[in-house]
Amino acid sequence: MPELPEVETMCRGIRPIIGRKVQSVRVPKCVCRPIVMRPKIVTIRRRLVGQTIQDVTRLGKRVLIHTADLALVLQPRMTGLVSLGQTPGPDHVRLQIHFAGSPQTQLLFWDRRGLGVVELMRRDEIQTRIVAGRLGPDALDITLEDFSDRLSKTNRPIKVALLDQKLLAGVGNLYASEMLHVSRIHPAKPCSKVSAKKKRHLFEAMQEILLTAIEYEGSTLSDGTYRNALNDPGSYQNQHLVYDRAGLACPSCSSGRIARIVQAQRSTFFCPKCQRT
């Protein structure tokens, strides 16, 4: 589930590791499905131990931990999170990094379903291995002009297009539903048929919702999986207008009922009265 606001919150929460030297890297025993690690943990350990963390950044839905020459890329995917020493439970810790010095600090990558990915690469490989052909502009950096142009070039349903990370990096299922509701666009409407005015409204809704969700430290859903770096829940879930509210009255128009449909194997929530085709 972690999308741009949750991953940005993770990055901000673990930035106390900047300036710290890596003391140890280990993979705790876990009976669950192993996550993907590239290269193998023995190589990651050999290359990272002794390195000093210089920066922590976000790239789409990925956390990047930088040393002078390397980048440790943590991709949470559906149920992963990055924290400082605490997680939703003792199981499912997939990577543990201890840092030298005081106070004692450890970075944990926790993943309940084992769908996450850990990659170590040179910093000069980020563009070719992650960005090129795989990631579009970041949702918080893209211009209105570029956003509109990219949507105009596809006939896919607009909700499906918004989930395409090649088109736009960072937006996922939850926030796409919220953005479309605020801008009053039906999720099944073909992108090429969305007016320029509606695209502008969608762009503005995207910026406002993502930035506000970051202020609220993301959304923690009913499964309780997502937590911030200190193991506290986010609170933007209390601001959701349509997501996971099927059958409830629409908070925007009061007369409609939130509906649920499936698009690209994902649940989409919208108000049929507010968001007409």
3 a catalytic residue: yes
Identify the active-site residue in 123, 266, 272, 273.
266
77 a catalytic residue: no
Helix 196-215 to helix 4-13 angle (10° resolution) is 30
Three-state secondary-structure class, residue 23: strand
Identify the active-site residue in 58, 61, 227, 245.
61
Residue type, 15: R
- Token digits of residue 226: 């997502």
21 a catalytic residue: no
- Residues with Cβ within 8 Å of residue 111, at least 6 apart in sequence: 35, 76, 77, 79, 80, 81, 92, 94
Identify the active-site residue in 3, 6, 178, 217.
3
d(CA 256, CA 248): 8
In b/e form, how buried is each residue of 204-240, taking b as 16+ CB within 10 angstroms? Answer: ebbbebbeebbebbbbbeeeebbbbbebebbebbeeb
**Terminus-to-terminus CA distance in the chain, angstroms?**
27
Identify the active-site residue in 2, 5, 76, 88.
2
β-pair type (93-99, 22-26): antiparallel
Query: Annotated catalytic sites, by residue?
Result: 2-3, 61, 266
